[in-house]
Amino acid sequence: MSVSLAVVLISVAAYVTARVSLYEQLDNELIEVASYISTPIESDIEGMGGLNSDALRAANVALLLLGSDNKATEVPGTAVTIEWGAEELAVARTQTGTSARTLTDIDGTRYRMVAVPQVVQDKRYALVLARPLSPTESTLDSLWITMILTGGIGVVMAVGLGWWTAREALSPLRNLSGAVTHVTETDELAPIEIHSEDELGDLTRSFNTMLNSLSSSRERQKRLIADAGHELRTPLTSMRTNIELLVADEKTGMLPEGARGEILHDIAAQLGEFTSLVGDLVQLSREDKVTANPEPLDLRDVVESAIVRAKRRGPGLNFDVELNPLFLVGEPDTLERAVTNLLDNAVKFSPPGGTIHVHLEGDTLRIADQGPGIADEDLPHVFDRFYRSDRARNTPGTGLGLSIVAHTITSHGGQVTARRSAEGGAEFVVRLPGKTVEEQLAEEEPAPAPEGEA
């Protein structure tokens, strides 16, 4: 619409400009003719300078001499009668300026008439000339038709080009809208093909990133549910079996003396395992960053609290502890649980009287034991959920402890790796972003933690 209106306005402006220009050119021609014939008329006012109707017809003009007394003298034999008016009389009387106007004679022919001042023998006159407008108007009509045609073609082309441009420009948006509809209707997270590198391309790329993130989250959720269902089934099945035995014994008294106490003890242990498993699953299901209750802390305090717990669980073990300051911003509770899980793992696999090494130097925490170590084929999987090596099948635990460690350390912007220690046991290396000088901590913003889980 805007382009069409612009084309119409330009066409009208061009026509008006051409019309004014042609009329101005015609007026200048008539004034120039008047300057040529003014001299002979001054010498022979009665005979109009010897002009005749044939000469005027050849010049395609009509001529009269209008006096200030409102009396006019025409060339003998002139077929066209000029009807003068107040404008021409004013030029004769004031002898200043010129006049130009359009008039229609009695036959309906349109003329362009100009009047220029003329003095003959101290008498004031206006030399009035008129010329038919038919050639000029014919030119203007042709110009108008041409402008209408070219303007119409321009409007059609502008509309067509605008439609095509809008269609091409909105194509990525249609694809994006179609993809959203497809996801809504089919629940399939298929990415959209990117056709451009502009803002729409960036929008499509962002949408694809969102789809990939959603797909990854969905897969993690499915895997978590499947793994949780598998792991929860074992303690629940065992608990149900034990409870069924107790119910049956209540009716028949078939269990020997002391068996009920053993079964109740098993049920309590299974409940503890079940509770621990549910807690671990809740911890792993957290997808948030470390922004809930972050606070400045010294990692030494966290590690020392975890060591106190570990010593209670491994009273016969030795702890080689060397802790240097590491100041950072994080959640002390979740960090303490992660360190506790690493120490519990060391306690679990350490031989009686073994030594657990806990060293914090710079940004690195190392926890090593003297146990059987981790097999090379198990190293890539130790942080996977519910993964348990063949050596750990008969040891207590949920298979989620190291997954929680990886999740917590990653959410704090760090990383954790597993390897064999120099003494043949397992060694876990944790690196966290922080400072060894407390004054520098306040100047640092907490490192952004990546979303998701380890």
pLDDT, position 289: 46
The secondary structure element, H or E, covering residue 72 is: strand 72-74
Instruction: Please tell me the number of Cα atoms within 13 Å of 168 on its side-chain side.
Output: 7
What CA–CA distance (Å, rounded) separates 368 from 417? 12
Mean pLDDT of the chain: 80
HSE-CB at 144 with a 13 A cutoff on CA atoms is 8
Please report the DSSP string for 228-290 in residue order.
Answer: HHHHHHHHHHHHHHHHHHHHHHHHH--SPTTHHHHHHHHHHHHHHHHHHHHHHHHHHT----S
Higher-scoring residue by pLDDT: 401, 92: 92
**Binning pLDDT at 50, 70 and 90, where does residue 276 land?**
low
How, if at all, do strands 355-361 and 364-368 pair? antiparallel
Q: What is the pLDDT of residue 357?
A: 94
Angle in degrees, CA 321, 323, 328, rounded to 5? 145
pLDDT at position 320 = 93
Q: Has residue 441 got a pLDDT over 70?
A: no
Cα–Cα distance measured from residue 63 to residue 52, given in angstroms and rounded to the nearest whole number: 10
pLDDT at 323 over 90: yes
Please give the torsion angle defined by the CA atoms of residues 76, 78, 82 and 87, in that order, rounded to the nearest 10 degrees.
Answer: -50
Q: Which domains does the chain have, with CATH numbers?
A: 2-139 (3.30.450.20), 199-284 (1.10.287.130), 295-441 (3.30.565.10)
What are the pLDDT digits (tens) for 335-364? 988 898 899 889 988 999 999 999 999 999
